[in-house]
Amino acid sequence: MTKLDDLPLFAGDREIAEAIVGKRDAEKWMKERLPTLAQKAGFPAIDAFHGGRAVPLVKRFYENYLGLPVESAKGKPDGQEDDSAWNKRKRRGSSG
């Protein structure tokens, strides 16, 4: 199954639909859900120059819509914090 992360930067509605609901339900999603979503604030319009919707914006829309945590552009995912500051403090404190 294709995921949004597997799509190019700009993708067509069919590709986006398959990534969101799967190939089997993509046609129904495009007919019944997409017209409503396209009217919602934050759902990206089709970029005429690129011929598709910006996939990162579709992903962000769904993260907000579903109330999922959004990764900070500067932060790292959970479990991958930079602990070098902690190690430096330990070294300073233990050398005195």
Residues 3-60 have pLDDT tens digits of 999 999 999 999 999 999 999 999 999 999 999 999 999 999 999 999 999 999 999 9
Give 73's pLDDT tier (boundaries 50, 70, 90).
Answer: very low
Average pLDDT over residues 67-92: 57
CA 63 to chain centroid: 7
Instruction: Please tell me which residue, 8 or 91, carries the higher pLDDT value.
Output: 8
Average pLDDT over residues 59-81: 71
Q: Is 44 left (phi over 0), alpha (psi -120 to 50) or beta?
A: beta
Instruction: Please tell me which residue, 3 or 71, carries the higher pLDDT value.
Output: 3
